[in-house]
């Protein structure tokens, strides 16, 4: 392991411990690490957008004679006119174009993905217990959000099954969330453990 | 204040301390925990396993360092699996803070198998606005990414000679930690219909089983447990399997806290009633 790597990994280990100190209470070490992340992220994002959007899609296209790109470039420039009271009306053309395209592209695929495919996945033959459960619990959960009829008597039972279905879903989500959060902690613990080994190996030659 | 009342008002830092102590135990006394595999992960493994040398897959490394704990093991396992079978891998990153990290992972594994950028794999880099990028890649890679991550024209890459867009690859696997997963389902599978599988964080896991059931995705790797499953199946062990003993102990402590707090809640409620 090179000395340079030890230093960089050491910095990462130090920042990890700085963040962990927040578990006790807010302190200057945590604030330093938090603001460092925010600053680095903002700088990185700005340069990334400059290179991947402006350089690639504006400068490069114009330099290589792809003049069709002048249309989106002008629409993009039009967006910036919102900062001028006198010329802000120009931005409406850009926004209208953007909303029109977005809506036209999104509505059909959203309907297909989130409505049609999901409904068709619920219209299934009762050939297995899980298929029966899917249909029953989907109907009960949907009924829970049906407010035009008072949830009394038999409707109350259906509504209750609906809320229990939702609770099971939330429980599964919570369990997986715990797993995810612990995974973040474990990854840092493994990193610190490996770093201690690296340092020990470096010192030991 | 009774014992149960005290228990109900315990300082959360005691909970952190308990979890912290428990998480350190496997680091000092290592042990292994068996991992059983699930159908949703097996399907992704079977998909990569079914690929022959020269087939194309698209692997979206669509996450950033904040979620690498859960998604890195998936990336390493799938890349190892694909490169070991000489499958051509096309990758890009749709997360703004991810490209440099994704490139490191890709080159690290590629070097182990002697794979060359532009010939056996390519890294297209990053483009903002995932929905538009996915739609565009569904039509033509070269329009979306005229140059790859290293500035080489994509149309000059050997690996890109046989394919034009996402519909030409055998399947798409996106490892993602945000709404990019929704964009892949909506604008990828929904618009173009190519086979899609997802590797997601644990937090997202429960939300994506419905797409598995509806057939919109053919496989799902949920969180670190899913990553460990893929490692078991493929035999490429990284931090996924290493994490499981830590997970087991931590979950045990959290379960214990939930049980104790529920007992405390019902006991104090009963006492108030009496």
Which tens digit of pLDDT belongs to each residue from A18-56? 999 999 999 999 999 999 999 999 999 899 888 888 888
- Of B97, B206, B246, nearest to A176 by CB-CB distance is B206
Q: Locate the domains of chain A by residue range.
A: 126-205
Q: What is the residue-wise DSSP string for B56-124?
A: EEEEEEE--GGGHHHHHHHHHHHHHHHHHTT-EEEEEE-STT-HHHHHHHHHHHHHHTT--BTTTEEEE
Residue A49 is predicted with a pLDDT of 86
Q: State the best of A113, A120, A132, A171 to mutate against chain B, taking most chain B CBs within 10 Å.
A: A113
Residue B46 is predicted with a pLDDT of 97
Strand ranges (E), chain B: 56-62, 88-93, 121-126, 171-176, 196-200, 219-222
Contact check, Cβ <8 Å, B205/A176:
yes
- Of A24, A179, A189, nearest to B23 by CB-CB distance is A189
Residue B59 C-beta-side C-alpha neighbours within 13 Å: 29
**What is the separation of C-alpha B248 from the centre of its chain, rounded to a whole number of angstroms?**
20
Comparing CA positions, the residue from A182, A22, A93, A36 lying closest to residue B257 is: A182
Question: How many degrees, rounded to 5, is the angle at CA A75 between CA A71 and CA A80?
Answer: 145
- B93 neighbors B148 (Cβ within 8 angstroms): no
- B240 neighbors B227 (Cβ within 8 angstroms): yes
Domains of chain B and CATH, by start: 40-241 (3.40.50.620)
CA distance A200 to B111: 27
Joined tokens for residue A63: 């330099």
Joined tokens for residue A123: 């219209």
A24: which chain B residues are within 8 Å (Cβ-Cβ)?
Answer: 13
Residues B14, B18, B21, B23, CA torsion sign: negative
> Going edge to edge, which strands form the sheet with B219-222?
B121-126, B88-93, B56-62, B171-176, B196-200, B219-222
A119 near B CB under 8 A:
no
Comparing CA positions, the residue from A81, A114, A110 lying closest to residue A95 is: A81
B152: which chain A residues are within 8 Å (Cβ-Cβ)?
Answer: none
Residue B199 is predicted with a pLDDT of 97
- Of A44, A110, A190, nearest to B97 by CB-CB distance is A44
- Of A45, A121, A188, nearest to B96 by CB-CB distance is A45
CA distance B222 to B22: 24
Contact check, Cβ <8 Å, B70/A180:
yes
Tokens 């379960």, residue located: B255
| SS3 call for B172 | strand
Contact check, Cβ <8 Å, B27/A189:
yes
Residue B204 is predicted with a pLDDT of 93
B149: which chain A residues are within 8 Å (Cβ-Cβ)?
Answer: none
A121: which chain B residues are within 8 Å (Cβ-Cβ)?
Answer: 210, 213-215
* Sequential pLDDT tens for chain B (274 residues): 777 777 778 888 998 999 999 998 988 898 989 999 999 999 999 999 999 999 999 999 999 999 999 999 999 999 999 999 999 999 999 998 999 999 999 999 999 999 999 999 999 999 888 999 999 999 999 988 988 999 899 999 999 998 999 999 999 999 999 899 999 999 999 999 999 999 999 999 999 999 999 999 999 999 999 999 999 999 998 889 999 999 999 999 999 999 988 888 888 888 777 7
Residue B254 is predicted with a pLDDT of 92
- B99 neighbors B125 (Cβ within 8 angstroms): yes
Contact check, Cβ <8 Å, B239/A120:
no
Confidence band (pLDDT; 50, 70, 90) for A133?
Answer: very high
Q: How many residues appear in chain B?
A: 274
Please state the rounded mean pLDDT for residues A166-177: 93
pLDDT tens column, B9-48: 888 899 899 999 999 898 889 898 999 999 999 999 999 9
Residue B147 is predicted with a pLDDT of 87
Confidence band (pLDDT; 50, 70, 90) for A147?
Answer: confident
The answer for A 159-198 residues in CB contact with B (under 8 A) is: 169, 172-173, 176-190, 193
Q: Which value does ipTM take for this structure? A: 0.88
- pTM score: 0.90
CA distance A82 to A186: 47
From B168's Cα to the closest Cα of chain A, the distance in A is 21
B27: which chain A residues are within 8 Å (Cβ-Cβ)?
Answer: 189-190, 193
Contact check, Cβ <8 Å, A176/B16:
no
Joined tokens for residue A99: 């909303």
Residue A184 is predicted with a pLDDT of 92
The answer for B 71-100 residues in CB contact with A (under 8 A) is: 72, 96-97, 99
For residue B244, how many other CB atoms are within 10 A of its CB? Answer: 23
């Amino acid at each position: 392991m090179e000395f340079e790597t030890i230093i960089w990994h050491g910095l990462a280990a130090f920042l990890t411990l700085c963040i962990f100190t927040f578990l006790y209470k807010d302190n200057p070490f945590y604030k330093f690490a938090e603001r460092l992340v925010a600053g680095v992220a903002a700088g990185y994002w700005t340069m990334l957008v400059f290179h991947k959007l402006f350089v690639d899609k504006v400068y490069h296209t114009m330099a290589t004679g792809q003049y069709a790109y002048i249309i989106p470039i002008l629409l993009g420039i039009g967006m910036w006119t919102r900062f001028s009271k006198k010329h802000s009306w120009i931005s409406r053309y850009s926004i209208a174009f953007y909303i029109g395209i977005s809506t036209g592209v999104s509505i059909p695929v959203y309907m297909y993905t989130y409505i049609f495919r999901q409904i068709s996945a619920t219209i299934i033959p009762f050939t297995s217990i899980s298929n029966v459960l899917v249909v029953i619990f989907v109907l009960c959960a949907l009924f829970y959000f049906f407010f035009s009829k008072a949830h009394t008597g038999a409707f109350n039972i259906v509504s209750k099954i609906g809320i229990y279905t939702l609770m099971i879903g939330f429980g599964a989500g919570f369990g997986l969330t715990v797993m995810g959060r612990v995974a973040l902690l474990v990854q840092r613990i493994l990193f610190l453990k490996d770093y201690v080994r690296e340092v020990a190996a470096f010192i030991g030659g | 204040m009774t014992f149960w009342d005290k228990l109900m008002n315990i300082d959360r830092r005691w909970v952190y301390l308990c979890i912290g102590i428990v998480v350190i135990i496997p680091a000092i006394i290592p042990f292994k925990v068996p991992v059983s595999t699930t159908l949703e992960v097996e399907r992704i493994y079977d998909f990569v396993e079914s690929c022959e040398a020269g087939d194309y897959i698209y692997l979206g490394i669509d996450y950033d360092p904040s979620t690498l704990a859960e998604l890195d093991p998936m990336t390493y396992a799938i890349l190892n699996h694909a490169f070991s079978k000489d499958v051509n891998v096309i990758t890009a990153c749709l997360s703004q803070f991810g490209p440099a990290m994704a490139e490191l992972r890709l080159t690290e594994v590629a070097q182990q198998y002697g794979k060359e950028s532009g010939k056996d794999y390519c890294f297209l880099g990053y483009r903002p606005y995932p929905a538009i990028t996915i739609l565009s890649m569904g039509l033509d890679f070269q329009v979306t990414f005229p140059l790859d991550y290293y500035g080489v024209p994509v149309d000059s890459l050997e690996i890109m000679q046989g394919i034009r867009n996402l519909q030409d690859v055998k399947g798409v696997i996106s490892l993602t930690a945000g709404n990019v997963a929704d964009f892949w389902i909506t604008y990828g599978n929904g618009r173009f219909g190519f086979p899609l599988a997802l590797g997601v964080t644990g937090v997202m896991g429960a939300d994506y089983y419905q797409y598995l059931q509806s057939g919109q995705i053919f496989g799902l790797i949920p969180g670190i447990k899913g990553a460990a499953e893929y490692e078991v199946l493929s035999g490429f062990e990284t931090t996924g399997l290493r994490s499981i003993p830590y997970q087991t102990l931590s979950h045990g402590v959290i379960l214990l806290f939930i049980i104790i707090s529920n007992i405390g809640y019902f006991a104090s409620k009963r006492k108030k009633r009496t």
